[in-house]
């Protein structure tokens, strides 16, 4: 099922051309940001290899590469929080993708049970140089 993506061409072709030529990093991955298609909330950041990106395109549902488990991961296969891809975008140099998704199940995405993975804000105190975390909605 792995799809062979074309090799990236010149800078102009990558940045202005019509060919989708993802630039995978040294580990064979591209970063993927998942955003709620309905309200624009950033839900999560994950990674895709060529196979998970191909499966995402073929099935219309989000597939990722789990770096911690070292395996393909069909988002929602066990939780019911399947991410149906509404739109896929690629950044200027094609080394990151953004997917707008409709989330199934209870609408959550984070393994902690929250709707989104970005649930904490980093506060920095310039006087002490310390950074602390607090709830993003506080």
- Could you report the per-residue pLDDT of 62-78, keeping only the tens digit for each? 999 999 999 999 999 99
Question: Nearest 5°: CA angle at 37, between 95 and 96?
Answer: 5
- pLDDT of 137 reads 85
Radius of gyration of the chain, Cα coordinates, nearest whole angstrom: 17
Percentage helix, strand, coil for the chain under 3-state DSSP, each rounded to 5 = 10, 35, 50
- pLDDT of 1 reads 46
Q: Distance between CA 54 and CA 57 in Å, rounded?
A: 5
Query: 39: closest CA among 105, 75, 86?
Result: 86
**Strand, coil or helix: what is 12?**
helix
Query: 32: closest CA among 80, 78, 101, 81?
Result: 101
Are 44 and 76 contacting, i.e. CB atoms less than 8 angstroms apart? Answer: no
Q: Distance between CA 103 and CA 75 in Å, rounded?
A: 10
Are 117 and 36 contacting, i.e. CB atoms less than 8 angstroms apart? Answer: no
Which residue positions in the chain have pLDDT lower than 50?
Answer: 1
pTM, to two decimals: 0.89
């Amino acid at each position: 099922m792995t799809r062979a993506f074309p090799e990236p061409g010149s800078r102009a072709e990558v940045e202005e051309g019509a060919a989708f030529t993802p630039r995978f990093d040294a580990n064979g991955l591209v970063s993927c940001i998942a955003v709620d298609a309905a309200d624009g909330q950033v839900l999560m950041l994950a990674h895709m290899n060529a196979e998970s990106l191909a499966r995402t395109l073929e099935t219309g549902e989000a597939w990722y590469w789990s770096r911690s488990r070292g395996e393909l991961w069909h988002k929602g296969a066990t939780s019911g929080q399947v991410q149906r891809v509404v739109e896929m975008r690629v950044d200027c140099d094609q080394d990151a993708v953004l997917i707008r998704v409709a989330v199934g199940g209870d609408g959550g995405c984070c393994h902690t049970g929250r709707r989104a993975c970005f649930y904490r804000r980093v506060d920095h105190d310039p006087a002490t140089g310390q950074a602390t975390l607090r709830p993003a909605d506080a």
